[in-house]
């Protein structure tokens, strides 16, 4: 069957593969429709479209494969051989990738059609997506607002009905934050679940790879395809089978859960808190979980996280810094200036001490419960062009928390899972003023299977529109 679609596929990726297998539609039709939609979109969510090659691949797609014929977005912080590899920065505006990331190759081997590069914040540094190199990416729910960052373009194309799935990366919330802002599923896996090679940096052991999807089963299938040890990443974990086939098969009844909307370390809008609390209570009831009322107070980690991550940025910039400083976004100029001039053994020791405090705190909590329910973001999406807000519902956080605390509030709910390495997922919890609100659930290391079942339950008892245009 060949023809012309009037719009890109707005279902999930799994249903698209099913439609191919039933011969209801062809990969060429869908890929071409996606390319047309991307080229005419006002979301500014892609920095490169490999249209000709994508259509060529679609013509010979093996639809028996898990993602056979599915058009994929690939975040611009991931390498795809022959595509630009700018890391969203003017510093590397002319650089091209000469090889592909391991998990990108696994997507292609599973039949995924690498169609477009999705925009990101510069070097993944902030949780909105607006750069001097590519301009501002917009949230399809309200184009005046951000889809989040750093996987903002990934979230925008998926929630905006342009591509059914896109890769993402999460070093401080960069999958979960955009998922929360755009009404998608965003799973941060256990550290090492998906390999980061080739040429991966390990320090400071916060960055994980994953995807932005419209459905839980899409995320499960993606993890099935992409997880598993790779010798180019010496901290990658052994292959685990059956995330998709095991969906809904785990007994949740009687497992223990705590609700801590703010994790004791963030200022959360009352409107967000109410939606998250209600959603968490509903899921606890429907799953038959046992609610445990414990006080959770995670240490604020924004500055420690930022300083530690700037080590790998310095390695990336190599001999370009400090001469390239003027080409960086203001937040990176500020952070790099502090780190370049003041990061020393004492600072590194303080960051490591903070990590130990967090680890002990999290261990204590997970000795008592199996899940922690919280908000994903302190509030709904803010201005598309940034900057990161330093107020919540009119409260001046600079005066309350100091400058560092105010800046860190926007990532305070997601950073702990990165620093500790445990899995966490964001699912839609509802809407406030037309914008999505995300519910985050954290679990012990290696229990992505349980988080996916919690998310599957959420999908069933409080279903969400798959795109912003189906609301």
Q: Do 23 and 158 fall into the same domain?
A: yes
Q: Is residue 237 part of a domain?
A: no
Final residue of a domain: which of 184, 207, 226?
Answer: 226
How far apart are alpha carbons 309 and 125 in whole angstroms? 9
422 close to 205: Cβ distance less than 8 angstroms: no
Q: Is residue 233 part of a domain?
A: no
Total domains in the chain come to 2
Q: Do 199 and 265 fall into the same domain?
A: no
Q: Which residues, other chains included, contact 70 with Cβ-Cβ below 8 Å and sequence gap of 6+? A: 13, 16, 17, 111, 112, 113, 164, 165
Q: Is residue 249 part of a domain?
A: no
Per-residue pLDDT of the chain (471 residues; tens, 9 = 90+): 344 577 899 999 999 999 999 999 999 999 999 999 999 999 999 999 999 999 999 999 999 999 999 999 999 999 999 999 999 999 999 999 999 999 999 999 999 999 999 999 999 999 999 999 999 999 999 999 999 999 999 999 999 999 999 999 999 999 999 999 999 999 999 999 999 999 998 888 899 999 999 999 999 999 999 999 999 999 999 999 999 999 999 999 999 999 999 999 999 999 999 999 999 999 999 999 999 999 999 998 877 778 778 889 999 998 899 999 999 999 999 999 988 998 889 888 988 899 999 999 999 999 999 999 999 999 999 999 999 999 999 999 999 999 889 999 999 999 999 999 999 999 999 999 999 999 999 999 999 999 999 999 999 999 999 999 875
How far apart are alpha carbons 1 and 15 in whole angstroms? 17
Q: Do 207 and 317 fall into the same domain?
A: no
Q: Is residue 330 part of a domain?
A: yes
Q: Do 385 and 340 fall into the same domain?
A: yes
Q: Do 265 and 335 fall into the same domain?
A: yes
| Per-residue confidence (pLDDT) for residue 303, from 0 to 100 | 74
Q: Do 204 and 272 fall into the same domain?
A: no
Q: Do 208 and 102 fall into the same domain?
A: yes
Q: Residue 239's CB: how many other CB atoms inside 10 A? A: 11
| Per-residue confidence (pLDDT) for residue 82, from 0 to 100 | 98
Q: Do 53 and 144 fall into the same domain?
A: yes
Tokens (6 digits) for 150:
């750093």
How far apart are alpha carbons 2 and 25 in whole angstroms? 7
Final residue of a domain: which of 207, 226, 245?
Answer: 226
Q: Do 202 and 269 fall into the same domain?
A: no
Record the pTM. Answer: 0.97
Q: Do 270 and 380 fall into the same domain?
A: yes
Q: Is residue 250 part of a domain?
A: no
316: buried, middle or exposed (CB in 10 Å: 19+, 13-18, 0-12)?
middle
Q: Is residue 4 part of a domain?
A: no
How far apart are alpha carbons 455 and 435 in whole angstroms? 20
Q: Is residue 147 part of a domain?
A: yes
> What range defines the domain where residue 415 resides?
256-470
Q: Is residue 316 part of a domain?
A: yes
Q: Do 271 and 206 fall into the same domain?
A: no
Q: Do 43 and 156 fall into the same domain?
A: yes
- C-alpha distances (whole Å) from 451 to each of 76, 372, 399 are 27, 11, 37
CATH number for the domain spanning 464: value is 3.90.1300.10
Final residue of a domain: which of 210, 226, 242?
Answer: 226
Q: Which residues, other chains included, contact 40 with Cβ-Cβ below 8 Å and sequence gap of 6+? A: none
């Amino acid at each position: 069957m060949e023809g012309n679609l009037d719009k890109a596929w707005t279902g999930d990726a799994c249903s698209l593969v099913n439609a191919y297998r039933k011969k209801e539609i062809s990969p060429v039709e869908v890929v071409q429709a996606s390319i047309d939609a991307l080229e005419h979109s006002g979301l500014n969510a892609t920095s490169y479209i490999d249209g000709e090659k994508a259509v060529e691949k679609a013509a010979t797609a093996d639809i028996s494969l898990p993602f056979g014929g599915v058009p994929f977005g690939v975040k611009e912080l991931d390498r795809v051989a022959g595509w630009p590899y700018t890391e969203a920065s003017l510093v590397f505006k002319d650089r091209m990738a000469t090889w592909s990331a391991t998990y990108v190759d696994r997507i292609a081997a599973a039949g995924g059609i690498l169609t477009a590069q999705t925009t990101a914040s510069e070097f993944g540094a902030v949780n909105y997506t607006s750069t001097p190199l590519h301009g501002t990416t917009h949230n399809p729910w309200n184009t005046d607002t951000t889809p989040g960052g750093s996987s903002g373009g990934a979230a925008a194309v998926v929630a905006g009905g342009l591509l059914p799935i896109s890769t993402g990366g999460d070093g401080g919330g960069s999958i979960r934050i955009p998922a929360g802002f755009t009404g998608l599923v965003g799973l941060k896996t256990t550290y090492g679940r998906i390999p980061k090679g080739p040429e991966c940096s390990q320090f400071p052991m916060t960055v994980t790879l994953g995807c932005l999807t419209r459905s839980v089963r899409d995320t499960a299938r993606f993890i099935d395809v992409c997880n598993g040890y790779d010798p180019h990443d010496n901290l990658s974990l052994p292959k685990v089978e059956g995330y998709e086939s095991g969906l809904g098969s785990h007994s949740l009844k009687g497992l223990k859960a705590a609700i801590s909307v703010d994790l004791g370390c963030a200022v959360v809008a009352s409107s967000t808190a109410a939606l998250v609390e209600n959603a968490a209570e509903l899921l606890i009831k429907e799953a038959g979980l046992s609610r445990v009322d414990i006080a959770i107070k995670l240490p604020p980690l924004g500055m420690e996280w930022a300083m530690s991550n700037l080590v790998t940025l310095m390695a990336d910039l190599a001999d370009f810094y400090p001469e390239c400083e003027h080409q960086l976004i203001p937040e990176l100029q500020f952070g790099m200036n502090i780190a370049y001039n003041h990061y020393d053994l004492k600072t590194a020791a303080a960051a490591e001490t903070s990590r130990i405090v967090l680890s002990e705190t999290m261990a204590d909590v997970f000795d008592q419960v199996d899940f922690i329910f919280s908000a994903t973001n302190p509030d709904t999406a803010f201005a598309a062009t940034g900057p990161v807000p330093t107020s919540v519902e009119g409260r001046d956080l600079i005066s309350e928390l100091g400058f560092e605390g105010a800046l860190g509030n926007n990532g305070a709910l997601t950073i702990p899972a990165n620093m500790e390495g445990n899995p966490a997922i964001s699912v839609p919890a509802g809407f406030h003023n037309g914008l999505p609100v995300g519910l985050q659930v954290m679990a012990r290391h290696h229990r992505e299977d349980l988080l996916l079942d919690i998310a599957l339950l959420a999908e069933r008892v409080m279903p969400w529109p798959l795109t912003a245009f189906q609301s």
